[in-house]
A and B are shown apart, each in its own frame.
Chain A
Amino acid sequence: MNSMIIGKYVPGTSIVHRMDPRSKLIMVFFYVFIVFLANNVETYAVLMIFTFSLILLSRIPLSFIIRGLKPIFLVILFTFLLHLFMTKEGELLYRLGWFEIYEQGVKQGVFISLRFLSLIIVTTLLTLTTTPIEVTDGVESLLSPLKKFNMPIHELALMMSISLRFIPTLMEETDKIMKAQTARGVDFSGGSFQERIKAIVSLLVPLFINSFKRAEELATAMEARGYRGGEGRTKFRLLTWKTADTALIVSLILLAIILFILRS
Chain B
Amino acid sequence: MREIAVSVENVSFKYPNEANYAVKNVSFYVQEGEWLAIVGHNGSGKSTIAKLLNGLLRPESGVIKIFSTELNETTIWEIRKRVGMVFQNPDNQFVGTTVQDDVAFGLENNGVPRDEMVERVDEAIRLVKMEEFLEQEPHHLSGGQKQRVAIAGIIALQPDIIILDEATSMLDPKGRNEVLETVRDLKKKQKITVISITHDLEEVVKADRVIVMNKGEVLTQGTPEEIFLLGEQLEKIGLDLPFTVKLSNELKGAGFPLTTDHLTAEGLVEELWTLYSKM
Interface residues of A (CB under 8 A from B): 133, 161-162, 164-165, 168-169, 172, 213-214, 217-218, 220-228, 232-238
Contact = CB atoms under 8 A, between A and B. Distances in A.
Contacts of B157: 225-226
Interface string B66-89: 000000000001001100110101
B138 A224 contact: no
B137 A168 contact: yes
A225 B54 CA distance: 10
User: Would you list the 7 A-B pairs with minimal beta carbon distance, nearest first?
Assistant: A236-B104, A221-B93, A217-B92, A168-B139, A226-B109, A225-B106, A224-B85
Given A161-B97, A164-B97, A221-B87, 8 more contacts: A133-B101, A165-B96, A165-B97, A218-B95, A221-B85, A226-B110, A226-B157, A237-B101
B105 A238 contact: no
Contacts, number: 91
User: Which of A172, A214, A226 gathers the greatest number of chain B CB atoms within 10 Å?
Assistant: A226
Contacts of A225: 80, 84, 95, 105-106, 109, 153-154, 157
B80 A172 contact: no
B54 A224 contact: yes
Contacts of A227: 105, 109
B117 interface: yes
Nearest to A168: B139
B107 A236 contact: yes
A234 B95 contact: no
26 contacts: A165-B137, A168-B137, A168-B138, A169-B91, A214-B91, A217-B87, A217-B89, A218-B92, A220-B87, A221-B85, A221-B87, A221-B92, A221-B95, A222-B95, A224-B87, A225-B105, A225-B106, A227-B109, A228-B77, A228-B109, A233-B108, A234-B108, A235-B114, A236-B121, A237-B101, A238-B114
B92 A233 contact: no
Contact of A214 (B56, B92, B109, B117): B92
B100 interface: yes
Contact of B56 (A162, A224, A232): A224
A57 B114 CA distance: 31
A228 B118 CA distance: 21
Contacts of A232: 111
Contacts of B219: none
Contact of A234 (B56, B85, B114, B139): B114
Contacts of B110: 226
A228 B85 CA distance: 16
A226 B81 contact: yes
Contacts of B81: 226
B54 to A, nearest CB: 6
A218 B97 contact: no
Contacts of B138: 165, 168-169
A226 B97 contact: no
B253 interface: no
A172 B51 CA distance: 29
B94 interface: yes
Nearest to A235: B108
